[in-house]
Amino acid sequence: MREGSRRHGFRIGQIGSASLVSLAHGTNDAQKTMGIITLAPIANGTLAAGATTPLWVIVLCALAIASGTYSGGWRVIRTLGKGLVEIEPPQGFAAESSSAAVILLSTHFGYSLSTTQVATGSILGCGLGKEGAQVRWNVAGRMGVAWIVTLPSAGLMGAISYFIADGVGGTAGILVDMLILIAISAGIYWRSRSTRVSRKNVNSEWTGTVAPAQAG
């Protein structure tokens, strides 16, 4: 079969498999975010104890996750699809399909897991199976370290936010927290612009870092 039409066919397939990963992400990962946000008004007494997730939480979470994927997605795509192992549409299609299947099944049984971890595992597997492909274990190791560091640092951030909000007190404390977090997010975003990853350079040669050698 011709290489061009093979790529084309699997790229069409990827539209379906990527959509299924999105669906799986929504049934699993996104539920945690919505659950925590719903828990806050319940703990505060704003919502009744038996309340279901309000519509505004669902809409806001969907918007936030979509805009995060839109703004930061290229960097993750590059790390997973180029840095970890260089994959082509057939591998991407296989990795997405198996990720979607595993996550949707786990959702069905009520297990919460991480889309990132499942997808990384699938991509590693595809990379090992692809002839001549090289898995960059140092990239995999760096991701593993990041996952371990995430747990305590997220806890630390939560504690710091609580002490600031509690120290200042009331609505003002929440606003101070919010302004600090917005400032930090803006700083991270601004910093990321200097080594921008976009559709133009997402597949540039991997030189050891997420940021491609030449600014695209």
Partner 1 sequence: MSSWINLQAVGEIVVVGLLAGAGLPAIFALGLRALGMPGKGHVTASDDELAGGSTAGIAIATVCIAVVLAAIGYGIYIIVISGHGAK
Contacts of 92 (CB under 8 A, 6+ apart): 10, 14, 17, 81, 126
Residue 71 tokens, joined: 């703004």
Cβ proximity to partner 1, 2 vs 199, nearer residue = 2
Q: How far apart are CB 101 and partner 1 at their closest, in Å?
A: 3
Cβ proximity to partner 1, 126 vs 197, nearer residue = 126
Q: How far apart are CB 171 and partner 1 at their closest, in Å?
A: 32
Q: How far apart are CB 110 and partner 1 at their closest, in Å?
A: 8
Q: How far apart are CB 5 and partner 1 at their closest, in Å?
A: 5
Cβ proximity to partner 1, 118 vs 211, nearer residue = 118
Q: How far, in whole angstroms, is CA 45 from its chain's centroid?
A: 31
| 61 neighbors 139 (Cβ within 8 angstroms) | no
Contacts of 80 (CB under 8 A, 6+ apart): 119, 120, 123
Which residues contact partner 1 (rule: CB under 8 A)?
Answer: 1-2, 4-10, 12-13, 16-17, 20, 23, 27, 90, 93-94, 97-102, 104-109, 111
For 139, the 3-state DSSP assignment is helix
Cβ proximity to partner 1, 119 vs 139, nearer residue = 119
Cβ proximity to partner 1, 10 vs 114, nearer residue = 10
Q: How far apart are CB 187 and partner 1 at their closest, in Å?
A: 37
List of long-range contacts for 36-45, beta carbons under 8 Å, 24+ apart: 37/61
Residue 130 tokens, joined: 């692809």
